[in-house]
Amino acid sequence: MADLLLSSPQNPRIKTLLQLEQKSSERRRTGLFVVEGQRELRHCLAAGLEVESLYWCRELVSADFVPTPRSFEVSRGVYEKIAYRGSTEGVVAVVRERRLSLDDLPQKEHPLIVVLERVEKPGNLGAILRSADAAGADAVVVCDPLTDLYNPNLIRSSIGAIFTVPCVACTTDECIAYLRRHDIRILTAQLQDSHPYYHTDMTRGTAIVMGTESTGLTDTWRRAADAHICIPMLGQLDSLNVSVSTAILLFEAVRQRLGQE
């Protein structure tokens, strides 16, 4: 199978791969998604996910690349058709998804969790996952998502962090119940009735809850909060990109926790 060269974009396997890249309905129907790039694929495999098939271009892969039994060589033209970007080392894989629930999250003494309500931009979620990985966060929970967790833009912008940080999609009510059950403090990032983030204890079990840039958090989260926090804005604008704001708050938690050691 590894010796078979696929040179036509009309090949059924290539058409299926493109459908998975382009349509969330197809990803949901099949339980499959697409991973592009050797770095992202390494994180995916390290997380224990199953590769259904792999497509590689001889002109672009590294010298030490070894085709697997479920791999297909593709021509340069076909690879350029299926790849989102050129610098992905000539590898695209179709992977079987593994959906986690809240009960699958690791149970730690003082967890640090990022909660995102109704996130709509895959690039923002990908960037937040990178920050969560860098800060050693225990999970990212996406409540009532408007984008699926295996959107190719999300995977690409996270550079594989979607596989290194446990990520769960659920409803707001399910998330609040989980946080209450595990005695995790809810800190909502909002402008109204809030205190500077660096005056708030984040050394205990903490959930940092972020809303959309356009509308912020719903009243459900504001009522559920144990504390309302904000990032002081000293210029003329009143908000930051949600991924930037999340990174600031995550690394405040890191600062406080390292200070305890």
Do residues 209 and 166 share a domain?
yes
- Give me the tens of pLDDT residue by residue for the chain, a chain 261 residues long: 445 789 999 999 999 999 999 999 999 999 999 999 888 999 999 999 999 999 999 999 888 887 777 899 999 999 999 998 665 689 999 999 999 999 999 889 999 999 999 888 899 999 999 999 999 999 999 998 888 899 999 999 999 999 999 999 999 999 999 999 999 999 999 888 899 999 999 999 999 999 987 778 999 999 999 999 999 999 988 778 999 999 999 999 999 999 876
Residue 239: its pLDDT value, please? 79
* 106 and 87 in a common domain: no
- Residue ranges making up the domain that contains 92: 5-96
14 contact partners, CB below 8 Å, separation of at least 6: 6, 8, 55, 74, 78, 81, 82
pLDDT of residue 1: 45
Contact 132, 105 (CB under 8 A): no
For residues 154 and 242, membership in a common domain is answered with yes
Q: Show the beta-strand stretches assigned E in 90-241.
A: 91-96, 112-117, 139-143, 167-170, 185-189, 195-196, 206-210, 227-230
Domain end among 96, 126, 154:
96
The sign of the CA dihedral 214, 218, 221, 222 is positive
Task: Identify the domain boundary among 46, 78, 96.
Answer: 96
pLDDT of 249: 98
Residues 251 and 192 placed together within one structural domain of the fold? yes
DSSP label at residue 102: G
- pLDDT value for 256: 96
Please give the pLDDT value at position 182. Answer: 97
Q: Are residues 254 and 196 in the same domain?
A: yes
CATH of the domain at 66: 3.30.1330.30
The answer to whether residues 113 and 206 belong to one domain is yes
Interhelix angle for 122-134 vs 242-259, to 10°?
10
DSSP for residue 186: E
Asked which of 78, 96, 114 is the last residue of a domain, the reply is: 96
Task: Return the pLDDT at 2.
Answer: 47
Q: What is the pTM of this model?
A: 0.91
159: domain CATH number? Answer: 3.40.1280.10
